[in-house]
Amino acid sequence: MVDMYIIECCRNCPNSLLDLEYVAALVKEVFDAADFNLRQRERLQTDRPLHHQIFRVGIAGCPNSCSQPQIKDFGIQGQLIPQSAEGCVFCGKCVLACPDGAITMTDSGPDINRNMCLNCGICIRKCPSGALRAAGTGFRLLAGGKLGRRPRLATPEPDIADEYQVKEYLSQKLELLLQEGKPGERLGQLLEKINGA
């Protein structure tokens, strides 16, 4: 019997901030713990789900989001939070490297605009002196994306999650769909109905 969910990951990319196989295994554990295949079959009353009836997860190693977590029922993006430290030599490489224009130079070193920064970690890799460091790593979580007749971008969670929160958040969303969703209803439609989000 076919699985009632699909996990799509980036592959073999040097930019990845995540151990993608490990994260995919983590996600699969949540589906198994929820007995998702069986319950989703019962909910939809079919062993042969249509394309839109399969729950889709996108895991992207970084905010470039090549595996398109924004249009999946559940999305995960790798995150690396930059922080400036001692030792800046004022080369300006971080300013030039940031794809989002989030860094400006000041007399005391780089200033990172947190509203613009997507936590991709590129500036850290480009810094020759170690004056930009990782303040933390984690996951950006998104829920409720889809294409189809009425496309919808997934709603991002404001905070960066750890592994435990990934499992908790996905588990909550699966339970919501299994318990409250009408047959054929996607998670995004359900979230809109409940929260308008």
Q: Are 157 and 169 in contact (CB under 8 A)?
A: yes
Nearer to ligand SF4, 16 or 40 (CB): 16
Distance CA 122, CA 144 (A): 28
* Among residues 120, 161, 166, 170, the one that binds ligand SF4 under rule CB under 6 A: 120
* Contact pick of 44, 54, 66, 135 for ligand SF4 (by CB under 6 A): 66
Residue 122 makes contact with ligand SF4 by CB under 6 A: yes
The tokens for 137 are 């790593």
Closer residue to ligand SF4, CB minimum distance, 30 or 124: 124
Residue 61 found at the interface with ligand SF4 (CB under 6 A): yes
143 lies in the site for ligand SF4, by CB under 6 A: no
- Please count the residues of this chain forming the interface with ligand SF4, following the rule CB under 6 A: 39
Tell me the C-alpha distance between 128 and 146, whole Å.
41
**Residue from the set 25, 89, 147, 194 that interacts with ligand SF4 by CB under 6 A:** 89
Per the listing, tokens 């909550």 go with 172
CB of 88 or CB of 191, closer to ligand SF4: 88
CB proximity list for 31: less than 8 A, separation 6 or greater: 5, 37, 174
Q: Would you count residue 121 as binding ligand SF4 (CB under 6 A)?
A: yes
- The answer to the question of residue 38 lying near ligand SF4 (CB under 6 A) is no
**Nearer to ligand SF4 among residue 30 and residue 131 (C-beta):** 131
Region of 59-67, 147-155, 166-174, 189-197 interacting with ligand SF4 (CB under 6 A): 59-67
Contact status: 131 vs ligand SF4 (CB under 6 A) = yes
Residue numbers of the site for ligand SF4 (CB under 6 A)? 10, 13, 15-16, 60-62, 64-66, 82, 88-94, 97-98, 100, 102-103, 109-110, 112, 117-123, 126-129, 131-132
